């Protein structure tokens, strides 16, 4: 099969637009490999190629969409026809349209490091096996490793439209992840940690091993805490999960459709003055950095909450038109889906004090290492927040015994106002979020 | 998409044989070819109008080769003989011992006919839009507090072909149809939501037996009821779960822990527990991939094994785990029909199908009457489990307080948290009103597959309720 360049395929589809049609085409092509190690040997070696096409066609505010996992010319043609047919069943939405270029210059980030493609299979296998070995060596209570994984991928992406958008980007990354099992007195705990980077040298294997092993061993002997109201410290990954829920409520689609508790609060104080939350895909340090958003507009920094005050919602071109504002370059999409709205690279403005100082300040509380049930116990429409939590007790300013099988609950709205302090322990998490620990008061801890 | 599927298997048998031979050419002991052609379509109705219609198409092949404990896997969407040969070579390269030629003889015709009455893609889109509109109107007329309604329809047809060097050459044609209604109600205290979903492994005949208007009213009433909900209690309480409302409890509390891949790696609290009492003697737990039209039903799993009914816990005693090809081979037994994968791009692993607890003998009303203070959960949302410890959480999307043997106030949403082995022992009464629950998608290691669950009304004597009220 002859390999055709993505922009050429896109152009052909755009050129086929009929009178009155707006067309947007997204195309991708990629390949990936995954290596799993188990007990010092390769357990599985996986590799594959993937392709994708997604076509939106709009006529007079009626949109149709179709996609496929193949760039086979016959299937691409089928997708275009299917999108064209689908739009005839949509009802007119006057705000529905393809994004038009807005003149904002992209940040011009060089995000692709070709060296990630040059890691040999041998090297990948060695890293996966080594990770497992290092977990076992780090602590004698580590009795096994459920999975020790290397993965890498490369993909190119093209987006073009009848409105004049035409981009073609290329990216690659590598990642590792490990799940050690710790055992003591008949009890088993599992840990997990991973890292993602644009080049091999930037993977912090030492940290991955340390965090994964500590995650498993530190919970050995954990008990169920007593139900009470406490001050909690969320470690950065947990703080990121919480603020991710907040950010989701600040997106244009939720706001426009009356599904956000903050819809009517623009300009008001919704959080403590210490909290400044923003999305900055132009910050190269973040793995979420991008030159363009999902509609091909330049990314930009957006300050959502500034010193506690609600400053802006995030928009793609559709939600912006609906609410009479301009797109904030916050369209997110995969080739196979229509553009949504969301964060690319969330960040928080860090505070001053170290994690130890934060802990020292809490007389009776908990340090939360992880939460679960975010998808089941948090309702982003009502703001009800209830998640499973595990971590350590804090007694008179120092970390105490581990706890598990507990929930923490409040509402998202209250928690933003109950933030006591933002930590100075800022870090970029593997997903690209720049986050610190958060101290939050008045949380209902449910246990025994 | 277009409905002129050629008769015959997804891939030509001789091409399959050639590909499998290439897969074994570098020393592999066993090879498998999994082909998939998936077509799906969905539409949604939002803010009083048809918001979008989408269609999608995926087809490709995944090739797996094993030698000893090593698995090589490659996938491609290029179904030409050259594309398949290249993928087979990549998969084979994980297993490099000595080069050899192996004969591959396939048994079977690799054909499957669909069991559904009405293929959804043959039904007009107008008819589907009419359903969306009817549900929207029914939800909106349920009460003036209803401020937002989103109705979704989706259909999917997944045709698979599995062939391996042991001679399996089998196909399945899986059609699923789903309809959902999401409502937002606005009150003085803010917003509340209500959701209802119906879905089966059937075609468009779904709508002969299910009334979308009644479904919409239930979703709307759920949101309206919650407007006057008070904060859920915090701490340990007896929890009564309505029939069909909480099979996910068992899916999370023990289902995942009974998957042989997790057991083998020591990542399950249920390892080495076969033959032991792991639950209250009232509990019999079954995983059954053959269950008629249920959401997790399959004829064959994604490794070509026929699905079956597997009793996992019988009267509280652990009787068996669930198995896929690799894990059953390792244990020297036959697979149980639980080898599943999200798509041709994924390696199969042990997964549940339809997981349920069988009937007890008590009248459901007696269970509530017998509960002095507790929580009645009419609908659970999703859940999550740490299989190593057995700790799990799941969300309550419709719950009430039980006071003095009666269901009283509605409660706001929250998570329940428990420990699988403990909860199984704390089930102190099971009713005689078995029902299957809503269709679900189970996620494991990044792969999602359709699953069903079910249970009669039952009570857990103590479960931690993650509310905010004292």
Task: Supply the mean pLDDT for chain B.
Answer: 92
Nearest CA in chain A to B41: A66
Contact B191 A384 (CB under 8 A): no
pLDDT digits (tens, 9 = 90+) for B403-435: 999 999 999 888 899 998 999 999 999 999 999
Q: From the CA of B465, how many Å to the nearest CA of chain A?
A: 7
- Percent of chain A at pLDDT > 90 equals 94
| Residues A375, B382: C-beta atoms closer than 8 Å | yes
HSE toward the beta carbon, residue B397, CA cutoff 13 A:
28
CA distance B365 to chain A (A): 28
Please answer whether residues B267 and A181 qualify as being in contact, where contact means their C-beta atoms are separated by less than 8 angstroms. yes
In the prediction, which pLDDT does A1 show? 47
Q: Taking the CA atoms of chain B, what radius of gyration do you get in angstroms?
A: 24
Residue with tokens 């037996």: B209
Instruction: Please report, in angstroms and rounded to a whole number, the separation of the first and last CA atoms in chain A.
Output: 64
Which residues in chain B have their CB less than 8 angstroms from residue A375's CB?
A: 382, 384, 395
Does the pLDDT of residue B3 top 60, yes or no?
A: no
Chain A: give the shortest CA distance to residue B55, in Å: 5
Closest CA to B414 of B250, B226, B244, B242: B226
Q: Closest to A377 (Cβ–Cβ): which among B80, B234, B414?
A: B414
Give the span between the Cα atoms of B394 and B17, in whole angstroms: 46
Chain B contacts in chain A segment 355-384 (CB below 8 A): 372-373, 375-377, 379, 381-384
Which chain B residues are Cβ-neighbours of A384 within 8 angstroms?
412-414
C-beta atoms surrounding B99 within 10 Å: 10
CA distance B67 to B72: 9
Give the distance from residue B46's alpha carbon to the nearest chain A alpha carbon, in angstroms: 9
For residue B191, which residues of chain A lie inside 8 Å, CB to CB? Answer: 258-259, 261, 381-382
- The 10s digit of each residue's pLDDT in B342-390 is 999 999 999 999 999 999 999 999 999 999 999 999 999 888 888 888 8
Residue of chain B minimizing CA distance to A177: B445
Q: How far is A422 from chain B (nearest CA, A)?
A: 24
B278 with B258: CB under 8 angstroms? no
> Are B297 and B258 a contacting pair, CB within 8 Å?
no
Q: pLDDT tens for residues B146-185?
A: 999 999 999 999 999 999 999 999 999 999 999 999 999 9
CB nearest to B90's CB, from A47, A147, A405: A47
Collapse the DSSP code of A339 into the 3-class scheme (helix H, G, I; strand E, B; otherwise coil) and give the result.
Answer: coil
Neighbours of A291 (CB within 10 A): 18
**Cα–Cα distance between A78 and B56 in angstroms, integer?**
10
Q: Which of A340, A296, A257, A319 is nearest to A96 (CA)?
A: A319
Task: Enter the pTM of the model.
Answer: 0.91
Contacts with B, A 145-164, CB within 8 Å? 146-147
Yes or no, beta carbons of A79 and B468 under 8 Å apart: no
Enter the tokens of residue B365: 């009303």
Residues with Cβ < 8 Å from A428, sequence gap 6 or more?
Answer: A285, A286, A287, A434
Number of A–B residue contacts, CB under 8 Å: 272
DSSP state for residue A115 in the 8-state scheme: G
Q: For residue range B58-81, list pLDDT tens digits in order.
A: 999 999 999 988 999 999 999 999
Give dist(CA B92, CA B25) in Å, integer. 7
CB atoms within 10 A of CB A240: 22
Res. B6 pLDDT band, cuts 50 70 90: low
> Which pLDDT tens digit goes with each residue over B246-284?
888 899 888 999 999 999 998 899 999 999 999 999 999
N-to-C CA span, chain B: 55
Distance from B361 to chain A by nearest Cα, in Å?
A: 30
Please check whether residue A335 is in contact with residue A67, taking contact to mean a CB–CB distance below 8 angstroms: yes
Separation CA B176–CA B154 (nearest Å): 8
Residues of B in contact with A190 (CB under 8 A): 267, 386-389
Tell me which chain A residues have a C-beta less than 8 angstroms from the C-beta of B381.
376-377
Q: Report ipTM for this prediction.
A: 0.88
Which chain A residues contact residue B418 at CB under 8 A? 405
Sign of the dihedral defined by the CA atoms of residues A98, A100, A101, A106, in that order: negative
Question: Do residue B49 and residue A93 have CB atoms under 8 angstroms apart?
Answer: yes
Contacts with B465 from chain A: Cβ below 8 Å: 407, 446
C-beta atoms of A404 and B235 within 8 A: no
Name the residue in chain A with its Cα closest to that of B264.
A146
Q: Is the pLDDT of residue B95 over 80?
A: no
User: Phi and psi dihedrals of A36, rounded to 5?
Assistant: -115, 135
A45 Cβ under 8 Å from any chain B Cβ: yes
Q: Rounded to 5 degrees, what angle do the CA atoms A399, A401, A405 make?
A: 115
Tell me what the mean pLDDT of segment A398-415 comes to.
Answer: 95
Beta strands in A185-249 (DSSP E): 187-190, 193-197, 228-234
Angle at the Cα of A15 from the Cα atoms of A14 and A16, rounded to 5 degrees: 90
A45·B466 Cβ contact <8 A: no
What pLDDT does B210 receive? 94
Q: Which residue is associated with the tokens 């050259």?
A: B82
A47 has a chain B CB within 8 A of its CB: yes
Of A72, A227, A258, the CB nearest to B234: A227
> How far does Cα A203 stand from its chain's mean position?
18
Evaluate if residue B48 carries a pLDDT over 70. Answer: yes
Three-state DSSP class for residue B353: coil
Q: What Rg do the C-alpha atoms of chain A give, in angstroms? A: 24
Quote the minimal CA–CA distance from B72 to chain A in Å. Answer: 5
pLDDT of residue A209: 98
- Given a cut of 70, whether residue A48 has pLDDT beyond it is yes
Burial call A28-60: b when 16+ CB within 10 Å, e when fewer = bbbbbbbbbbbeeebbbbbbbbbbbbbbbbbbe
CB proximity list for A22: less than 8 A, separation 6 or greater: A57, A58, A59, A97, A98, A161, A162, A163
Question: Is A190's CB within 8 Å of B389's CB?
Answer: yes
Partners of B438 in the β-ladder:
none
- Could you say which residues from 417 to 446 on chain A have a Cβ atom under 8 Å away from some Cβ of chain B? 444-446
Ordered alpha helix ranges (H), B370-436: 420-425
Average pLDDT over residues A260-288: 96
* Selection from A246, A251, A258, A269 nearest residue A312 by Cα: A251
Which residue carries 């996910």 as its tokens?
B248
Cβ(B377)–Cβ(B276) below 8 Å? no
Asked if A285 reaches chain B (Cβ–Cβ under 8 Å), the answer is: no
User: The tokens 């000595």 sit on which residue?
Assistant: B98
DSSP-derived secondary structure for B395-419: EEEEEEEEETTEEEEEE--EEEEEE
A4, A40, A131, B368 from A43: Cα distances, Å: 35, 9, 14, 51
Within 8 A of A46 by CB-CB distance, chain B residues are 72-74, 347
Contact at 8 Å (CB) between A344 and A333? no
Chain A residues 235-264 with a CB less than 8 Å from chain B: 257-259, 261
* Mean pLDDT, residues A366-383 taken together: 89
Angle separating helix axes B13-24 and B81-92, nearest 10 degrees: 30
- Measure in Å the smallest separation between the Cα of A26 and chain B Cα atoms: 14
Q: What distance in Å separates the CA atoms of residue A365 and residue A444, rounded to the nearest whole number?
A: 11
Cβ contact B393–A379 (<8 Å): no
C-alpha span between A409 and A118 (Å, rounded): 47
Q: Which of A159-163, A283-287, B125-129 has the lowest mean pLDDT?
A: B125-129
Quick check: A248 and A346 in contact, CB under 8 A? no
């Amino acid at each position: 099969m002859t390999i055709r360049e993505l922009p050429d395929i896109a152009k052909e589809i755009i050129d086929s637009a009929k009178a009155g049609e707006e067309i947007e085409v997204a195309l991708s092509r990629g390949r990936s490999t995954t290596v799993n190690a188990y007990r010092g040997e390769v357990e599985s070696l996986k590799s594959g190629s993937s392709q994708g096409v997604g076509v939106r066609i709009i006529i007079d505010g009626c949109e149709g969409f179709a996609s496929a996992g193949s760039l086979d010319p016959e299937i691409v043609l089928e997708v275009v026809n299917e999108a064209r047919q689908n739009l005839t069943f949509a009802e007119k939405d006057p705000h529905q349209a393809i994004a038009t270029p807005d003149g904002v210059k992209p940040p011009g980030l060089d995000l692709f490091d070709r060296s990630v493609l040059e890691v040999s299979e041998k090297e990948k296998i060695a890293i996966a096996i080594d990770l497992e070995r290092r977990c076992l060596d780090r602590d004698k209570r580590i009795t096994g490793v459920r999975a020790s994984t290397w993965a890498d991928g490369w993909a190119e992406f093209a987006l073009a439209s009848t409105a004049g958008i035409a981009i073609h980007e290329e990216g690659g990354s590598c990642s590792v992840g490990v799940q050690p099992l710790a055992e003591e007195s008949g009890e088993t705990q599992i840990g997990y940690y991973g890292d993602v980077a644009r080049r091999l040298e930037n993977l912090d294997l030492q940290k991955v091993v340390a965090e994964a092993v500590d995650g498993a061993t530190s919970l050995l002997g954990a008990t169920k805490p007593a139900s009470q109201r406490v001050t909690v410290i969320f470690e950065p990954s947990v703080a990121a999960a919480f603020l991710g829920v907040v950010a989701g409520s600040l997106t244009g689609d939720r706001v426009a459709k009356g599904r956000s508790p903050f819809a009517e609060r623009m300009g008001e104080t919704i959080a403590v003055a210490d909290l400044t939350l923003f999305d900055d895909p132009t910050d190269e340090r973040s793995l979420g950095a991008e030159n363009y958003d999902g509609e091909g507009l330049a990314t930009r920094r957006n300050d959502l909450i500034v010193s506690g005050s609600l400053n802006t919602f995030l928009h793609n071109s559709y939600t912006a038109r609906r609410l009479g504002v301009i797109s904030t370059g916050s369209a997110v999409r995969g080739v196979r889906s229509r553009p949504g709205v969301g964060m690319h690279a969330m960040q928080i403005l860090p505070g001053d004090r170290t994690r130890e100082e934060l802990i020292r300040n809490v007389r009776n509380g908990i340090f939360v290492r992880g939460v679960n049930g975010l998808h089941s116990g948090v309702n982003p429409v009502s703001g009800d927040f209830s998640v499973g939590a595990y971590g350590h007790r804090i007694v008179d300013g120092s970390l105490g015994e581990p706890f598990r099988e507990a929930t923490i609950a409040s509402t998202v709205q209250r928690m933003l106002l109950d933030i006591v302090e933002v930590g100075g322990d800022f870090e970029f998490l593997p997903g690209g979020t720049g986050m610190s620990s958060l101290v939050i008061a008045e949380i209902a801890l449910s246990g025994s | 998409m277009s409905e002129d599927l050629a008769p015959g298997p997804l891939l030509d048998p001789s091409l399959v044989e050639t590909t499998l031979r290439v897969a074994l050419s570098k020393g592999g002991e066993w090879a498998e070819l999994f082909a998939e052609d998936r077509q799906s379509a969905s539409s949604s109705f939002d803010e009083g109008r048809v918001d979008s219609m989408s269609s999608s198409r995926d087809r490709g092949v995944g090739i797996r080769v094993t030698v000893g404990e090593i698995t090589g896997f490659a996938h491609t969407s290029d179904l030409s003989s050259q594309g398949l040969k290249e993928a087979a070579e990549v998969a084979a390269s994980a297993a490099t011992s000595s080069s050899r030629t192996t004969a591959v003889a396939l048994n079977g015709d690799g054909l499957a006919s669909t069991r559904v009455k009405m293929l959804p893609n043959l039904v007009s889109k107008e008819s589907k839009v009419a359903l969306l509109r009817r549900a929207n109107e029914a939800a909106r007329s349920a009460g003036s507090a209803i401020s937002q309604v989103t109705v979704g329809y989706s259909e999917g047809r997944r045709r698979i072909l599995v062939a391996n060097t042991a001679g399996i050459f089998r196909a399945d044609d899986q059609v699923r149809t789903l309809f959902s209604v999401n409502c937002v109600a606005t009150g003085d205290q803010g917003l509340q939501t209500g959701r209802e979903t119906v879905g089966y492994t059937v075609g468009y005949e779904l709508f002969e037996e299910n009334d979308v208007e009644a479904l919409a009213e239930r979703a709307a009433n759920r949101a309206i009821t919650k407007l006057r909900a008070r904060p859920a209690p915090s701490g340990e309480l007896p929890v009564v779960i309505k029939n069909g409302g909480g099979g996910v409890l068992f899916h999370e509390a023990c289902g995942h822990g009974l998957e042989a891949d997790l057991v083998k790696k020591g990542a399950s609290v249920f390892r080495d527990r076969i033959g032991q009492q792991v639950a209250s003697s009232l509990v019999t737990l079954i995983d059954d991939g053959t269950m008629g039209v249920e959401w997790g039903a399959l004829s064959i799993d994604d490794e070509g094994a026929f699905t079956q009914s597997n009793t996992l816990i019988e009267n509280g005693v652990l009787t068996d785990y669930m198995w896929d090809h690799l894990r059953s081979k390792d244990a020297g037994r036959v697979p149980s029909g639980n080898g599943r994968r999200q798509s041709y791009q994924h390696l199969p692993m042990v997964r549940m199908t339809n997981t349920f607890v069988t009937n007890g003998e008590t009248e459901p009303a007696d269970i509530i009457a017998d509960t002095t203070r507790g929580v009645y959960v009419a609908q659970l949302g999703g859940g999550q489990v740490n299989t190593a410890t057995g700790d799990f959480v799941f969300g309550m999307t419709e719950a009430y307080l039980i006071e003095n043997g009666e269901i009283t106030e509605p409660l706001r949403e929250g998570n329940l948290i428990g420990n699988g082995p403990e909860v199984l022992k704390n089930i102190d009464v099971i009713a005689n009103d078995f029902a299957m629950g809503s269709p679900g998608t189970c996620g494991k290691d990044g792969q999602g597959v359709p699953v069903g669950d079910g249970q009669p009304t039952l009570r857990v004597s103590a479960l931690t309720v993650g509310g905010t009220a004292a």
